[in-house]
Structure 1
Amino acid sequence: MVKTATGSSLARVSLISWDGTVAFDSLVKPSEPVIDYLTPFSGITEAMLRDITTTRADIQNKLKELVDGNTILVGQSLNSDLNALKLRHPWIVDTSVIYDHPRGKPMKPSLKWLSLKFLKREIQAYGSKGHDSIEDCTACLDLVKLKLEKGKEFGSTAANFESIFTKLAASKPSKTGAVIDYGDVQKKYVTAQFTKRVNEDDEVVDGVLKSVNGDIISGIAPVDFTWAQLRDLNTTRGWHNSYQKFITEMNTTVITADSPPIEVPPQPAPLAGDQLGKVVEEMVERIRKIYEGLPKCSVLVVYGGTGDPVEMGRLNAVQAVYRKEFKVKKWDECSVKWTDKEEQELRRAVGEARKGVALLAVK
């Protein structure tokens, strides 16, 4: 990619086949004057593009000859490449998705780090000369082959952790565990001896009591450890998906210097005191039912999760808009501003979100 007045523009397209041979490699003439060749990142110089006449339309036609509906495209952050090509494709394997960042999702690992970590190969080491796109292609392909060889969990943060249910089963004497949760729990918690999928918090209470006491009708034997979560309070307060969808969409949105201003969604309206109080009372009553239904000598741990993340989510959304727009617009033309004031506000909001509470009781 190089930078033009309206944003990033395609400058080189490279494809290799499964055996590593170069299938296509071409420079592309940007449709607008280049204001920055971004050589330390793109590897493209003014001299390289001076006599190039190949247009994006030419590249699109060539790719249609090489890539059909059954072809699987492999690459790093391919959404950016396809956006630049003005193309869509149904079959994608993205190395920034199938491998995890060491700090976990939603952060994405760089190709340079992935190559050094898993292939023991240094790439993009040319300094001011920039990247070699064929080298990048080869690294992506080799990472996918390694993933296929090692298995689904290879390169994921999950591979660095051992399930608590596995640890319980391996203890002496062996212990059993259960999970009561929303979603596909059987697939997500494969090492748990008992799982129950629920659709509401009252079902959580029922599932917990059946797991700890057993249920003759269902043929469930009592387990030693049960994990469950109550969601009503979280959902009612608008914490569950606050701003995350907006940020995800913003990261894939193409913005130019002429794009209209972007409006960050406002915070959810605060709940009325009586409405919030009712939901809290219902949650406390469910916890009471669980405690009273536990066998004697049971330990009940109630963990409140995080503090209020809504303001943190709003500021992250503002930052996402600013970063996206500032790449192609002047500072005073951006829809939002990001200064030291907003940076300090985000730090305070993160501190609030990190606050939590835990309660423990022995029956």
Structure 2
Amino acid sequence: MPPGSHSIDNLITDTSNRYGDLKNDSFKKLSESSDLNIGLAVGKRRRRSSNYQDIVNKNGIFSSASSTTTITIHPETKKVKLTSNTPEDIEAVIEYEEHFADSLDASSTTTTTASTKKLKRKHLKPPKIVLDPNYSKSLTIKDIRDLVIYSLDKNEKNRPVWCKVENRMNIEKVIVLQIPGVQPKDLRYKGTALKSFEELLNDKNKILKTSETFFDNDNTLTLSSKAPGNASFVFSAYSAFTNVPLTKQKQANLMKKLSKKTATLKDMLLDLDDMIELQYPIHPAIAGNSSELAARINDLNMQLPENNFWVQTYAKNDFKNYIPIAYALDCEMCLTQNGHELTRISVVNFDGVLIYDKLVRPKNEIIDYLTRFSGITEEMMQNADHSLEQVQEDLLNLFDSRDILIGHSLQSDFKVIKIRHPNIIDTAHIYEHVKGPPFKPALKKLSSVFLGKEIQNDDIAGHDPSIDARTCVELVTLKLIKGLQIGLNLNSETIFKKLEDSSNVRSLIFNKFGPDESFADLNKESNLKCISFKDDSDIIEKILKNLDDCSLFVGKLNSLESARYFTNKSTGSAGNSLKEEQAVKNLNSILKKLTDNISKNTMIVLFSGSGDSRLYKKITAETNAIHIPEKRRLETLRRRDELKQAVEQARDSIVTIYIKK
């Protein structure tokens, strides 16, 4: 067998046995080749190299002008493959391989040790925000959002334009809290309260040294910022932070993907995450084949108030080829002494034909018919001949658990009917608000924009549930015809989804009207957890409770805003000074508790999101109260300068960034 066809181990043995000691002449011949650049001690041609590129020619092989030997070295394994008919050359190659392997081992050990020490030293360094020396203007909500994304997404290459994040790989968690109602007097520089947020823009020392009592001065930045808006309006800072604009390329790719797919009803069904976030009653069938999840759902349902009065749909037969039927329903409620109760329900089939329509007697006395919305009057209720229990029985006879129920925000309807069903299409979910989450589109708006039909426009007669149900069917049909992309906001995605897709970041967000934590924990596999809260202290407690499970926390502390009456549309007074003082004290207390209990390398971002918005809210409320469009337009023009000044005041805000050492 020719030597070049042997494995390298056999080649060494075979060559040693056949040719004896190494021939120095042939070794020297190879080392003097113009293509050879290796660390060999031969005459004056001593060279040092540890790179594969330094020891091979452009073609990745050795070649000797005076021999027929061709040597190929694999760049990773460093194994030698040669083709030669000359025994002397083979012996030289063997000697070279042994020498090269030894030099690689020594070099690799030294490099690894040095790299390990360097990595350890870098890992020990705390992360730090270094302000760009050219910083000269107020931060935007986008600037804050970019910092959070850059800190958590270790693959993100676009760093914030206004700062440098040193050792960002060591940032483990980010807590973002909006605190509306903050005023300059809440911030201190060398013991003196600030008079305006602009001081932070004009004095770089104050940026580094202005702080609240719960933060360490030497690791805090307090910066001037601007709430989103224009000369006439102030936009939601929370929405601007949580929604990330998509690039044109991503928009085009998403549109192309959705437009190619043939839409089906199954594509529009809510999944478990959707039901949890939207607070739907959970049917055990949503668990699929997971008996553990089904058991948790049943346990949770058993703990609900008035559990004995709830019903759930079931499969009426065991046909494997059962074809689901689609229905749409809508309910109207009146206000009773026990809250909102069902007073009318309408069901239409997928052709829009009304198949069930009943007036329902509530158990408690009606104190407000809510006619403007419900369309229910006292005269109508005199003909109500169905109880809630009868409606439940009728629906269980009508619906199979495999059928599909369509409606707009059906969770409210299901709760008053006290019924659970697994297969749901919610038009408030498959159609999105132009501003993105957490906003939801109104059915009236969807009908006008996408169907060209005006509904719910009679304040005297109120809503007709059969019309609303039929409108939902038409909106679903439109998607089946034109594609799933219809009605979606393809301009942005949430920061939570972006970070989940890029870095598998698990997020916890707080929503006053969100689900209870025990309800949100049903799907333990989800990377997005949305829960309700009682007050500011409850938010802090739940952040600390979930520190080990999540990396991003986003919430809003409202107590300071409430104390200063920023939620009131009238200007009022500056608020009760004692109430304000207590609110600031409580805020300092809970934030100090947060900083005391978080782990090191955790970043906290506080932003007010707005300034004093009372005058802005007063002006907009007064102009919007004018129902005649032309008069409203003229009044807006008359107060344009006043509105502009109010907007500037409302947009003036701050952001404080703290990293625990």
TM-score range, shorter chain: 0.5 to 0.7
Greater RCO structure (CA 8 Å; 6+ sep): 2
Structure 2 CA distance for aligned equivalents of residues 30 and 100 of structure 1 = 33
**Aligned with 1:74 (options 394, 397, 406):** 406
CA apart distance, 1:140 = 0.6
TM-aligned CA deviation for residue 128 of structure 1: 1.2
Q: Do the aligned residues in 1 keep the contact of 2:510 with 2:554 (CA within 8 Å)?
A: no
Structure 1 residue 349 corresponds to structure 2 residue 615: no
Question: Which of these residues, 468, 473, 476, is aligned with residue 141 of structure 1?
Answer: 473
State the match for 2:604 in structure 1: none
Q: Deviations over 1:135-161 (max 9, x none)?
A: 101111100111122222210111x57
- In structure 2, the partner of 1:241 is 508
Specify which of 334, 351, 357 is matched with residue 19 of structure 1. Answer: 351
Distance 2:374 2:362 in 1: 14
> In the alignment, which residue of structure 2 is the partner of 1:263?
534
Query: Residues 117-136 of structure 1: matches in 2 within 5 Å?
Result: 117-136=449-468
Please tell me whether Structure 1 or Structure 2 has the larger radius of gyration of its CA atoms. Answer: 2
Structure 1 residue 267, shift from structure 2 partner: 4.3
What code does the residue aligned with 2:372 have? P
Within 2, Cα distance between the matches of 1:126 and 1:341?
34
Unaligned runs of 5+ in 2: 1-332, 520-532, 544-552, 569-579, 581-606, 612-650, 657-661
Structure-2 change in CA distance of 1:57 and 1:268 (3 Å): same
Secondary structure of 2:609's counterpart equals helix
Pair 1:314 & 2:557 matched: yes
Aligned twin of 1:55: 387
After superposition, the C-alpha distances for 1:228-284 in whole angstroms (9 at most, x for unaligned) are xxx7xxx8xxxx52424x64217xx9xxxxxxxx83353437x9xxxxxxxxxxxxx
User: Would the aligned equivalents of 2:427 and 2:472 in 1 still touch at CA under 8 Å?
Assistant: yes
- Distance in 2, Cα, partners of 1:7 & 1:340: 30
Task: Write the mapping of 1:224-235 to structure 2, written as runs, cut at 5 A.
Answer: none
Q: Which amino acid aligns with 1:56?
A: L
Calculate percent identity across the aligned residue pairs: 35
Task: Return the offset for 1:90.
Answer: 0.2
Kept in 2, the 8 Å contact 1:243–1:314? The answer is no
Whole-Å Cα distance in 2 between the matches of residues 126 and 27 of structure 1? Answer: 20
Q: Distance in 1 between matches of 2:655 and 2:486?
A: 32
> For structure 1, which runs of at least 5 residues remain unmatched after alignment?
163-180, 186-196, 200-230, 254-261, 272-307, 320-336, 358-363
- SS of residue in 2 equivalent to 1:35: strand
In structure 1, distance between residues paired with 2:372 and 2:341:
16
Q: 1:100 to 1:198 in 2, by over 3 A?
A: closer
Counterpart mapping for 1:4-15 below 5 A: 4-15=336-347
* CA shift in 2, pair 1:120/1:355, >3 Å: farther
Secondary structure of 1:51's aligned partner: coil
1:342 Cα deviation from its structure 2 partner: 5.3
Q: Does structure 1 conserve the Cα–Cα contact (< 8 Å) formed by 2:608 and 2:654?
A: no
| Residues 48 and 70 of structure 1, relative CA distance in 2, 3 Å threshold | same
Shift, 1:17, TM fit? 0.3
- CA deviation after TM superposition for structure 1 residue 41, in Å: 0.2
Amino acid at match of 1:341: Y
Alpha-carbon distance between aligned partners in 2 of 1:339 and 1:2, rounded to the nearest angstrom: 33
Superposition RMSD on alpha carbons, in Å?
3.6
Give the secondary structure class of the aligned counterpart of 1:13: strand
Runs of 4 or more, structure 1, over 4 Å off, are 337-340, 352-357
Aligned to 1:96: 428
After the TM superposition, which residues 37-48 of structure 1 pair with which residues of structure 2 at under 5 Å, given as runs?
37-48=369-380
Q: Tell me how far 1:102 sits from its aligned partner.
A: 1.6
Instruction: Name the CA shift for 1:355/1:98 in 2 (closer, same or farther; >3 Å).
Output: farther
Q: Is the 8 A contact 1:16 1:23 kept in 2?
A: yes
Identify if the C-alpha distance between structure 1 residues 88 and 339 changes in structure 2 by more than 3 Å, giving closer, same or farther. farther
Residue identity opposite 2:476 in structure 1: V
* Letter of the 2:610 counterpart: G
Cα 1:338/1:80, change in 2 over 3 Å: farther
Structure 1 residue 198, shift from structure 2 partner: 3.8
Where 1:10 maps in the other structure, the secondary structure is: strand
What pairs up with 1:265-304 in 2 under 5 angstroms?
265-268=537-540
Distance 1:150 1:50, change over 3 A: same
Q: Match for 1:263: what amino acid?
A: K
The match for 1:29 among 335, 343, 361 is 361
CA contact (8 A) 1:112 1:124 kept: yes
Q: Hey, what does 2:145 align to over in structure 1?
A: none
Q: Is the 8 A contact 1:309 1:350 kept in 2?
A: no
Q: Could you give the per-residue CA deviations for residues 17-72 of structure 1, whole angstroms, max 9, x where no partner exists? A: 01111110111011111000000100000000113231000000000111111110
Residue 388 of structure 2 contacts residue 417 of structure 2 at CA under 8 Å; is this kept in 1?
yes
Aligned partners of 1:2 and 1:42 also within 8 Å: yes
Which deviations, in whole Å up to 9, do the C-alpha atoms of 1:82-136 show, x marking residues without a partner? 0000001101000111101121111101100000010000011222110111110
Look up the match of 1:85.
Answer: 417
1:56, 1:3 → 2: CA distance?
A: 15
Partner SS state of residue 479, structure 2: helix
Q: Which letter does structure 1 place at the counterpart of 2:460?
A: S
> Letter of the aligned partner of 1:70 in structure 2?
R
TM-score (norm 2): 0.30
Q: Given residue 42 of structure 1, which amino acid in structure 2 is its aligned partner?
A: S
Secondary structure at 1:268 match in 2: helix
Q: Is 1:111 aligned with 2:443? A: yes
User: 2:348·2:470 contact (CA, 8 Å) conserved in 1?
Assistant: yes
- Distance between the aligned counterparts of 2:608 and 2:654, measured in 1? 10
Counterpart secondary structure, 2:565: helix
Deviation per CA, 1:4-25, whole angstroms, max 9, x where unpaired? 0111010001000011111101
**Which residue does the alignment assign to 2:482?**
150
What one-letter code is carried by the residue in structure 1 that aligns with 2:565?
K
